[in-house]
Amino acid sequence: MKKLLLILVLLPLLSIAQNKTYNGIIREFGTNLPIEMVSIGVENSNLGTVTNEEGKFRITVPNDAKTLLFNHLNYKVASYNLVSRNTDFEILLEPAGFDLEEIVVTSKPVNQILGDVIGASRKRVEKSLLVNTYGREFISLNGKFVKFSDGLLDYYVKKQSGASDLHVKQSRSFELNKNTKTEDEERKESMTVIDIRDVMEQAYAFKSLKTTLKNKDYDYELRAKTDHAGNTLEIIKIIPNPEVEKDLLIGSVTYDPKTKLILEIDLKSSPEHQKFAKTINLLIVKIRINEFARKINFKLEGDKYVMSYSQTKINFYVKTKKSFDDTYEFLSDFVMMDYKEGEFKLDKDKRYTKKSISQAGNNFQNEYWKTSNIMLLTSKEEKILKSVE
């Protein structure tokens, strides 16, 4: 019995000992500037993470892992040999050397090409998945940061719809002046509009992109750029009609012309159309969207095609007769850390039914923010976190 107890005590330690953590920073060769949103993966594995705005990252890998791979749309793919190498290092990525974007003249309407690209990408990702992610939220109220939350989230993605069940495995939440808040302040800070349960549906069913494509108020332009090695990327520009007096989006979809797979979706509020944003009356509350942005990156390595990173930002105004007359800003980031293909079912008791990570509160068993393959906080974000601790 004593031996069994000893084994049970040592198991977590043995598990930690079988992993190794690497810290690094990625810069551009020649300028030495940090590169954000670099996708970092482990060769022959689904493990991954991304760099932050300062080009910094941390990744924990099995002891037998041999190579890290670094991918970014605008840079040459690079690798790092983990055998007998330092656990802290710097990587210099060489720009891919793309020519300037050239407009592509095509007999097929560009909006139809976009529809084909969405269809090809949807078909490729149409599979059941268990996606392990790191998610975080920054919330500000009237220009002041009031809350930070993050956690380890598992998405059980359904094959047909791209919808998913969500399990928040661990979480933490920090609030500004929590102990001195009035009931009215508590109510205001509980407001949320981003639903974290929809993250995978946006990535794997291309929900926002398909909605935009159906809207007749947009024009489309196809462009291409080629690097020195002859590799080409095609970019579909989504252009709002300048004569339409509506709050419209502007953006682009970058894809691989060989596979027709989307590599990046970048949509945001059109600056020229933001003045047409309307206040919507919803019974007892009025809401106006001031600014919206969504960016989703996908990683294509061999036969592997998966979301690597998703960010949503929304700024909106809320007014009621009694309590609300406020402007909110929500920023959420999700990083794919690992994934498995196959049919997986989530215990109904573990299914998360709330919209935000912050509503999960503090529920963690270990300091996952120090060991998991999360998106590291920048120096600026560290200061924000300290202000709300």
What does the buried/exposed string (b/e) look like for 50-82 if buried means 16 or more CB atoms within 10 Å of the residue's CB? Answer: bbbbbbbbbbbbeeebeebbbbbbbbbebebeb
pLDDT for the residue numbered 46: 94
Instruction: Show the tokens assigned to 210.
Output: 């398909």
pLDDT for the residue numbered 84: 65
Element (H, E) at 287: strand 285-301
Element (H, E) at 369: helix 368-371
Instruction: Pick left, alpha or beta for residue 259 (phi over 0 → left; psi -120 to 50 → alpha; otherwise beta).
Output: alpha
Q: Long-range pairs for 106-110 at CB < 8 Å and ≥24 separation?
A: 106/222, 109/220, 110/220, 110/221, 110/222, 110/236
pLDDT for the residue numbered 384: 84
DSSP character at residue 376: P
- d(CA 375, CA 52) in angstroms, rounded, equals 6
CB contact at 8 A, 39 and 14 = no
Proportion of the chain above pLDDT 90, given as a percent: 72
CB contact at 8 A, 311 and 331 = yes
| Amino acid type, 98 | F
- d(CA 314, CA 257) in angstroms, rounded, equals 31
- d(CA 289, CA 280) in angstroms, rounded, equals 9
pLDDT for the residue numbered 389: 65
* Stated pTM of the model: 0.91
- d(CA 235, CA 226) in angstroms, rounded, equals 11
Distances (CA, A) of 282 to 48, 279, 318, 320: 42, 10, 11, 10
User: Which residues in the chain show pLDDT less than 50?
Assistant: 2-16
Specify the residue for token string 């974007």: 101
CB contact at 8 A, 187 and 208 = no
pLDDT digits (tens, 9 = 90+) for 146-177: 899 999 999 999 887 778 999 999 999 998 77
* Residue closest to 62 by CA, chosen among 23, 17, 25: 17
* Residue closest to 328 by CA, chosen among 135, 136, 137, 144: 144
Beta carbons within 8 Å of 387's beta carbon, 6+ residues apart: 145, 176
Instruction: Pick left, alpha or beta for residue 44 (phi over 0 → left; psi -120 to 50 → alpha; otherwise beta).
Output: left
CA 165 to chain centre: 18
Beta carbons within 8 Å of 273's beta carbon, 6+ residues apart: 240, 244, 245, 246, 247, 248
- d(CA 373, CA 367) in angstroms, rounded, equals 12
DSSP calls for 320-368: ESSS-EEEEEEEEEEEEEEEEES-----GGG---SS-SGGG-SB-SS-H
pLDDT for the residue numbered 179: 67
* Residue closest to 195 by CA, chosen among 356, 361, 329: 356
Crossing angle of helices 207-214/110-125, nearest 10°? 160
pLDDT digits (tens, 9 = 90+) for 11-48: 444 444 588 999 999 999 999 999 999 999 999 899 99
Query: If you count them, how many residues does the chain have?
Result: 389
